[in-house]
Amino acid sequence: MRHSNKSKKILALFLVLMLGFVIFLTVMLYTALHPRDIPSIYSEDTAKAQRGSIISADGYHIATTQKLYKAVVNTRNIDPDKEELFVQLFSIYSGIDPAEIRQRLHTRKGSVTLSYHISPKEAMYLKTLGFELRRLGVFIEYETPSGNRVLQGLNIIESGEARIYPYGNLLTPLLGYPRKIEEEGYTRVYGIKGLEKFFDEELNPQQNKTQKALRDVNGYLILNKQSDVKRQINGLTVKLNIPIMLQARIEAITDRIKDQLQADEIIATVMESKTGKIISLASSNRFDPSHIRTSDYPSLNTNAIEYSFEPGSVVKPIIFSLMLDRGLINPYDMVNGHNGRFTMGRKTIVDEHPFSMISAEDVIVHSSNIGIAQLAQKLNGTEFTEGLKRFGFTHFSGIDLPYEKRGSIPSSTQLNNYLYKAITSYGYGMRSNSMQMIKAYNVFNNGGKLINPMVVEALYDDNGRMIPMQIQAPTQVISPSTAERMKQILIKTVNEGTGTIAKTPGLEVGGKTGTAHIAKNGAYVNSYHTSFIGFANDGKHYYTIGIAVIEPRTVYFASITAVPVFKAIVDLMIEEKYLTPDPVAAAAATETSPVHHP
Asked if the structure places residue 34 within a domain, the reply is no
pLDDT on residue 226: 56
Asked if the structure places residue 23 within a domain, the reply is no
Asked if the structure places residue 293 within a domain, the reply is no
Asked if the structure places residue 20 within a domain, the reply is no
Full domain range(s) for residue 88: 62-164
Judge whether 335 and 351 are in contact, CB under 8 Å. Answer: no
**CATH label of the domain that carries residue 86:** 3.30.70
**CATH label of the domain that carries residue 181:** 3.90.1310.10
Examine the domain organization and report whether 139 and 83 are in the same domain.
yes
Angle (CA) 63 69 73, round 5°: 165
Asked if the structure places residue 13 within a domain, the reply is no
Q: What is the pTM of this model?
A: 0.84
CA distance 556 to 527: 8
Examine the domain organization and report whether 391 and 349 are in the same domain.
yes
**CATH label of the domain that carries residue 584:** 3.40.710.10
Examine the domain organization and report whether 196 and 124 are in the same domain.
no
Examine the domain organization and report whether 440 and 493 are in the same domain.
yes
Asked if the structure places residue 4 within a domain, the reply is no
Angle (CA) 393 396 401, round 5°: 140
Helix/strand/coil (H/E/C) assignment for every residue in 441-483 = HHHHHCCCEECCCECEEEEECCCCCEEECCCCCCEECCCHHHH
Among residues 164, 194, 222, the one where a domain terminates is 164
pLDDT on residue 218: 43
Examine the domain organization and report whether 339 and 363 are in the same domain.
yes
Pairing of strands 278-283, 475-476: unpaired
Examine the domain organization and report whether 330 and 422 are in the same domain.
yes
Examine the domain organization and report whether 189 and 252 are in the same domain.
no
166: left (phi over 0), alpha (psi -120 to 50) or beta: alpha
Cis amide prior to 173 (ω within 30 degrees)? yes
Residues of the chain short of pLDDT 70, as ranges, are: 1-6, 8-9, 12-13, 27-47, 209-230, 590-598
Examine the domain organization and report whether 395 and 444 are in the same domain.
yes
Asked if the structure places residue 345 within a domain, the reply is yes
Q: Domain tally for the chain? A: 3
pLDDT on residue 143: 78
Examine the domain organization and report whether 199 and 99 are in the same domain.
no
pLDDT on residue 596: 35
pLDDT on residue 46: 65
